[in-house]
Amino acid sequence: MGRDQVSSVDCILVVNSGSSSLKFAIYAIENREILCRGSIDWSINADEHTLVLKSNRNAGTSVAGSSIIARDTRMAVDVTSHGDAVRVAIRTMTEWMQVQFAIGIKVIAVGHRIVHGGTHFTKSVLVDSSVRKAILDLAPMAPLHNPSAHEAIVAAETSLPGIPQVAVFDTAFFATLPEKSFVYPLPYEWYSEWGIRRFGFHGISHAYCAVRATEILGRGYEGLRLVVCHLGNGCSASAIAGGRPIATSMGFTPLDGLVMGTRPGSIDPGIMVAAVREHGLSMDAVDQVMNRGSGLLGISGISSDVKKLEIAAAAGNLRAGLALAIFCDRVRSTIGGLAVTLGGVDAVVFTAGIGENSSQQRATICHGLNCIGLHLDDHLNTTAKPDVDIATQLSPARILVIETQEDLMIAREVSQIVTKPLPP
């Protein structure tokens, strides 16, 4: 099929900005299908600045002379910012879909994952100047993500002028947490006057996994008790009862809770006081260490990448092994605590990069959880490909590995805002 026979499809572009990466997807509105997913990584863990494009569709006839010839493709790109990444993603993905699948992409809206919405945003909204300002105002509480998302929004507005942009907030899913779960044991005025409270993050992923879990388990939300573990470079766990979150590990910022790639999770706050008072660190230096120099990277001194740490630990690197042991211990104890909060657990979900792909870490985490009814099938765990149940046949509670699809959830949110019929 040549270029003159290319069919045009109305689509939503989904943009998910990481600290030094960009994930994106194209969602066809008519048949509700993700046509293409891609990513660009220019982080310190990337061997090169790489763009990856993937599609489940069968490739059509390519255009003679095109350098893009693979159904799935990987290429080096000159990207050093989120603005660069958005422009490259739009251009390359559009060409790739046209060449490989004879599909012309007509973007009618763009959806952006925004990590921190504070108390301003409890649902998705159309982006305007006031929304952009609010996203930047919240940047001190999510310094690895909100500035990146803001830059991506500006770049998308420039590349696709006049196209609606929609902000979808990670914190929105946790907006209905009960008061006892979000008020900190600090002077109450810090909450009532300053707005300091637990917000929770990765809400888009937790929401998707809750929906997908009901499908795998073949039951509705009623009476269903889930612990969802989103384990990637950022990590969080949540307790979900009857489809609604009642507790989560992340807090006022994405620093709290589980050990992460470069963030420490929960620590004694007196440590930061000591770092400033006794060791002379500035608050900016403490902020840098907490966000970029702690967690798996800080303990191991090698990397924040679990795959690299697994290799190093197997080769005898003690600090790499210690980092993984601390990581798993924190996840295990958090699962136990959330299960008690729920009054029992019907299923635990593992998702995101580590949760979906590391059978070794899943096995270590699940070791000792028999006491709450979680019995791991070692063979199923080793061979697991999402979406799958890896508990033993007789396990009272199920253990699910689910591929998180934040892009799909974002696209659904955007379609509700942009394409829903206008009221009479």
Q: Which of 4, 12, 85, 102 is nearest to 42 (CA)?
A: 85
Give residue 136's identity as a one-letter amino acid code: L
Kindly name the residue from 41, 170, 305, 387 that is annotated as catalytic.
Answer: 170
CA separation for the pair 102, 60 (Å, rounded): 7
Q: Is 127 left (phi over 0), alpha (psi -120 to 50) or beta?
A: beta
Torsion sign (Cα): 290, 140, 182, 232: negative
Please, which residues have CB within 8 angstroms of residue 402's CB and are 6 or more apart in sequence?
209, 212, 213, 216, 349, 350, 351, 356, 386, 387
Q: Is 170 a catalytic residue?
A: yes
Q: Which of 114, 111, 110, 123 is nearest to 162 (CA)?
A: 110
Pairing of the two strands 125-126 and 103-114? unpaired
Please, which residues bridge with residue 28 across strands? 11, 33
3-state secondary structure of 371: helix
Q: Is 75 left (phi over 0), alpha (psi -120 to 50) or beta?
A: beta
What HEC string does 79-96 produce? CCCHHHHHHHHHHHHHHH
CA separation for the pair 3, 94 (Å, rounded): 13
CA separation for the pair 369, 354 (Å, rounded): 19
Long-range CB contacts (< 8 A, 24+ apart) of 211-218?
Answer: 212/387, 212/402, 212/405, 213/347, 213/349, 213/400, 213/402, 214/243, 216/387, 216/389, 216/400, 216/402, 217/346, 217/347, 217/398, 217/400
Distance of CA 77 to the CA centre of its chain: 23
Please, which residues have CB within 8 angstroms of residue 267's CB and are 6 or more apart in sequence?
none
Packing angle of the helix pair 283-292, 270-277 (nearest 10 deg): 130
Q: Which of 101, 111, 109, 96 is nearest to 24 (CA)?
A: 111
Catalytic residues, which ones? 170
